[in-house]
Amino acid sequence: MNWRKFTLIACAGSLCLTLSTWAINVSSSKFAKPQLAVTQLSIKQLEKQGQAITVKVISQDVLGSGILLKRQGYFYTVLTNAHVLRSQNPPYRIQTNDNRIWVADVPKTIRFGQNDLALLQFRSTGIIYSVASFGSSPTVGDEVFAGGFPSQEEETGKKGFALTTGKISLRLHKALEGGYQFGYTNDIEKGMSGGPLLNRRGEVVGVNGMHAYPLWDAPSVFVDGSEADAALHNKITHLSWAVPIETVIKLIGD
């Protein structure tokens, strides 16, 4: 037997087998979905994240809360509820989490239609603030965290950011008037309107705006003018409500 020839054939076969195995591995990895780690924050971390991106909206008094939506240089855009700004006339001011107060303007270029949303803009003097990151739309049963500055704190002399825990209990196929579509079990108080609704990763998924058990039992009206039936209306009034952040992104872009 020609041992040199046999050795050459064996080596060539081994090389082919190695190349075939490598090709299979490359082909498989090409189509494999990456396994991304999902980082869930502790309550303490969520409070820190929420407080960093949440501001007070002020006119003559504290009107409500807002979310630091984006930054361009030292110019910041704040997202809040339209009803927060309607409660008092301009000029408006923004108080950031370092207790600095900035004069704010209402941009004229963005229109939210009938959605209970509004924007303010201010310029800082060289100070960099954290801005919100956005999360995917939550589903029923998802844990959520509602943040903001309850106005009761002003009356009692207490100051501070509040974060309440709960879960998505109702998601409507069509939004209520004002664009409200997520109903959740978290308590929100007066002053928390315009604050963020966060997921467990600290991402904004909605804008707080309506608390449970309203003083007046008005019908629950959808954006198309139709009314919820009695059973659904009863569920709606037992929950707090947010406008999805996806509505904001669609209207102004991310």
The rounded radius of gyration (Å) of the Cα atoms in the chain is: 26
Q: 151, 193, 220, 240: which is the annotated catalytic residue?
A: 193
Count of other CB atoms within 10 angstroms of residue 14: 10
Tokens, residue 30:
């090409």
Give the CA distances from residue 148 to residues 2, 57, 171, 198, 254, in Å, rounded to whole numbers and listed in that order: 84, 11, 22, 11, 22
E strands, the chain, are 54-58, 62-72, 75-80, 92-95, 101-104, 118-123, 143-148, 162-171, 182-184, 196-198, 204-210, 240-244
Q: Which entry of 65, 116, 151, 220 is annotated as an active-site residue?
A: 116
Q: Reply yes or no: is the peptide bond before residue 244 cis, omega within 30 of 0.
A: no
- What is the torsional sign of CA 42, 43, 48, 54? positive
27 is catalytic: no
Q: CA dist 97 to 49, 130, 193, Å?
A: 11, 10, 17
Token couple for 156: 């009692």
Which listed residue (59, 83, 130, 137) is catalytic? 83
Q: How many CB atoms lie within 10 A of CB 43?
A: 11
For residue 169, indicate whether it is catalytic.
no
| Whole-number Å distance between alpha carbons of 130 and 193 | 20
Question: For this structure, is 83 an active site residue?
Answer: yes
Element (DSSP H or E) covering residue 6 = helix 3-31
Residues marked active site are found at 83, 116, 193
